């Protein structure tokens, strides 16, 4: 009897872990593609050109799924929260990250964004009543040292300092969005939550339509193709698999697993772009990750 009961739970956990792995690989590749496309597409243009195909792909996913399971759209407060996290994550985070990678290499940007697990743990304590233990604040202090080291490396000019601030802004938007999504997923299916959020983010970036049109005319076709692939891969598929994993795995486990994203991004960047962060920035990034590890440890 016990084997029969536990088997579905084990299968679900395995599926969620696989979904998390897919997301990590896709999101790591996104840092590299964004950096490659930066000389050709403005931050807002790239965001819109990424979100348009993502919204189309997700609409197809939802229609296929609805034929089998029906379609239950969020209403009331869940709808408001879904739209809110969609604008913050799909639009705000994407534009901030695109802009940051005009000034920072892919590895440094990935390391900055991935201080988010500490902010997530702090937010979970403040809003979800999780334990705000001493290790969290020790980890925050360690991560701050790492951010300062990255700042020393990138702070040689106004543009690089701006990239640092934009990377931290992306981390903050990521944190707020993930915590809000956790609430949304209590009542909304992962696929629908991702679809509605993506459409909301896409609509929020329509103001860049004119700029996107101009960039397409002057950019190589490969840049536009890269933006479309970003929409279908890291956005449509990556956010869907992340939402599925988020609905079946603890937030802390997901946040800890995402620490590998900067490492994967740096390897991909070195291979594809021949680009690595400065040694001091790598040191600062590793210190940031150490702070995250310390903050997530349990006695």
What's the per-residue H, E or C state across the chain?
A: CHHHHHHHHHHHHHHHHHHHHHHHHHHHHHHHHHHHHCCCCCHHHHHHHHHHHHHHHHHHHHHHHHHHHCCCCCCHHHHHHHHHHHHHHHHHHHHHHHHHCCCCCHHHHHHHHCCHHHHHHHHHHHHHCCCCCHHHHHHHHHHHHHHHHHHHHHCCCHHHHHHHHHHHHHHHHHHHHHHHHHHHCCCCCHHHHHHHHHHHHHHHCHHHHHHHHHHHHHCCHHHHHHHHHHHHHHHHHHHHHHHHHHHHCCHHHHHHHCCHHHHHHHHHHHHHCCCCCCHHHHHHHHHHHHHHHHHHCCC
Which of 263, 259, 261 lies closest to 296 in space, CA to CA? Answer: 259
pLDDT at 82: 95
Alpha-carbon distance of 283 to 278, in angstroms, equals 9
pTM recorded for the entire structure? 0.83
Residue 210 has pLDDT above 60, yes or no: yes
Higher model confidence: residue 132 or residue 288? 288
Alpha-carbon distance of 85 to 264, in angstroms, equals 26
CA atoms within 13 A on the CB side of 257: 20
Tokens of residue 1, six digits: 């009897």
| Pick from 99-108, 164-173, 248-257: least confident | 248-257
Higher model confidence: residue 49 or residue 110? 49
| Pick from 22-36, 189-203, 247-261: least confident | 247-261
Alpha-carbon distance of 119 to 97, in angstroms, equals 17
Residue 174 has pLDDT above 70, yes or no: yes
Alpha-carbon distance of 226 to 62, in angstroms, equals 24
Residue 155 has pLDDT above 60, yes or no: no
* Average pLDDT of the residues of the chain: 85
Alpha-carbon distance of 147 to 209, in angstroms, equals 34
Which of 234, 238, 231 lies closest to 191 in space, CA to CA? Answer: 238
């Amino acid at each position: 009897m016990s084997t029969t009961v536990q088997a579905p739970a084990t299968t679900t956990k395995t599926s969620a872990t696989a979904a998390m792995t897919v997301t990590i690989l896709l999101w790591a590749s996104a840092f590299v593609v964004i950096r490659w496309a930066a000389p050709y597409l403005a931050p807002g243009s790239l965001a819109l050109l990424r979100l348009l195909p993502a919204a189309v792909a997700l609409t197809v996913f939802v229609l296929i799924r609805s034929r089998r399971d029906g379609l239950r759209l969020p209403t009331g407060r869940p709808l408001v929260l879904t739209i809110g996290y969609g604008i913050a994550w799909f639009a705000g985070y994407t534009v901030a990250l695109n802009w940051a990678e005009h000034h920072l290499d892919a590895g440094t940007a990935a390391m900055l964004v991935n201080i988010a697990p500490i902010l997530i743990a702090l937010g979970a304590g403040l809003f979800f009543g999780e334990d705000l233990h001493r290790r969290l604040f020790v980890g925050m202090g360690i991560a701050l040292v790492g951010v300062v080291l990255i700042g020393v490396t990138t702070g040689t000019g106004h543009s690089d300092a701006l990239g640092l601030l934009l990377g931290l802004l992306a981390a903050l938007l990521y944190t707020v969005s993930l915590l809000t999504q956790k609430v949304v997923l209590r009542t909304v299916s992962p696929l629908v939550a991702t679809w509605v959020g993506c459409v909301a983010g896409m609509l929020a970036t329509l103001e860049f339509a004119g700029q996107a049109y101009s960039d397409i005319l002057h950019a190589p076709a490969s840049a536009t193709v890269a933006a479309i692939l970003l929409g279908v891969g890291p956005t449509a598929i990556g956010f869907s698999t992340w939402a599925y994993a988020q609905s079946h795995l603890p937030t802390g486990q997901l946040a800890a697993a995402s620490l590998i994203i900067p490492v994967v991004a740096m390897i991909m960047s070195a291979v594809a772009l021949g680009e690595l962060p400065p040694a001091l920035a790598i040191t600062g990034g590793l210190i940031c990750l150490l702070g995250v590890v310390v903050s997530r440890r349990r006695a």
